[in-house]
Amino acid sequence: MTFNGKLYHLLIIVTLTLLITYLHFATMPQFSSRIVLDELYYLPLLLGVLWFGLKGVIVTWLCVSAAYLPLFFGVWTTTFSEVMDRVLHLVFTGVFTAVAYILAERARRNREQAEQGRYLAVIGQVATVIVHDLKNPLISILGFARRIREGKGDLALAARTIEDSAQTMEKIVNSVLDFAKPLQLDFTDIDLRDSVRRASEFCQTKADARSVSLTTNLPSTKITTAIDCSHIERALINLIDNAIEASPRGALVTITVITDKDGIVITINDQGSGMNREILANLFMPFYTTKAEGTGLGMPITKKIIEAHAGTLAITSTSGSGTEVEVRLPCHKGKD
């Protein structure tokens, strides 16, 4: 919690405590000393438990008790039972604060242990996936390096296989690094249509190889906005590639860009087999993939890039009826 946040919470507790005390003084001449206002002091105490550590909780109880002390004096506190009632109130608020703090700390420790367990489980999953993905290219490199050393087989083929395997390993490592490290964005005012065209042209070779038609529908007027071109294009390339890979031969992949009152909308539609609920639910889960070759980081990285641009990524799909990807980006210009 920041200093300003702590100060704001402290002001709430102090204001609430003073208000309750004021209500006490304003109503005591007309009502019984056992009015429910006494119990209202538990509210600032509970807030102190939720917002502050041990020292803050103690200070909160002392402040609330100090605000309550003037109620010991006056025409409304005349009998021994009334005095004992107020003393017990101070004791009970102290006990309540202590018990609430202990329970809150126990819940916090349980959350931390659960988060640590999930973190270790994710680390284990990451390590397993990385080792599995690196194992095959590493075996190829070792095997063909041994052939080269022994002078066996086609040396050119061995060298090419080693190079391909090393590039595969580099791709895996770079994907993991891109997912793990914070994005460094360089926002520039550009015509978004140019980035969409470049992403589409980059994917055209794969579309031709798979006999998939790639169509782009762009507005006739400029769409000037501040984005990081390289990152946005990388995200769009990944989404278009996925649409092409999901499409059967002769199918159509359509990329459409429009603007509305909320910003820019980029949709990518394919005529593939679609995805079931399980795949959709895990689509942005790191290292989850249905492809024989893939790190399972493409979609999480894509989502990370779009959200870093204050945008959203939504995917609609059902088995047997294709998939629609919708990317929404704010339409704003950078500083001149």
Is residue 28 assigned to a domain? yes
- Per-residue pLDDT of 100-153, as tens digits, reads 888 888 888 888 888 777 767 766 766 766 776 677 788 888 888 888 888 777
The average pLDDT across 181-187 equals 80
The average pLDDT across 170-189 equals 78
Q: Are residues 144 and 232 in the same domain?
A: no
- Among 129, 151, 181, the domain-final residue is 181
Predicted pLDDT of residue 30: 54
* pLDDT score of 334 more than 60: no
Q: Are residues 171 and 203 in the same domain?
A: no
DSSP state of 248: P
* pLDDT score of 159 more than 70: yes
- Per-residue pLDDT of 65-110, as tens digits, reads 887 777 666 555 566 777 777 777 778 888 888 888 888 888 888 8
Predicted pLDDT of residue 240: 93
Q: Are residues 200 and 294 in the same domain?
A: yes
Is residue 212 assigned to a domain? yes
Packing angle of the helix pair 155-180, 298-308 (nearest 10 deg): 40
Range of the domain at 161: 1-181
- Among the residue ranges 51-60, 67-76, 157-166, the one predicted with the least confidence is 67-76
Predicted pLDDT of residue 192: 92
Q: Are residues 51 and 195 in the same domain?
A: no
In a 13 Å sphere around the CA of 127, the CA atoms on its Cβ side amount to 6
- Among 131, 148, 181, the domain-final residue is 181
CATH number at residue 253: 3.30.565.10
- Among 149, 181, 213, the domain-final residue is 181
| pLDDT above 90 coverage of the chain, percent | 20
Q: How many domains does the chain have?
A: 2
The whole-chain average pLDDT of the chain stands at 81
* pLDDT score of 328 more than 90: yes
* pLDDT score of 275 more than 60: yes
Question: CA 302, CA 235: separation in Å to the nearest integer?
Answer: 5
Q: Are residues 92 and 233 in the same domain?
A: no
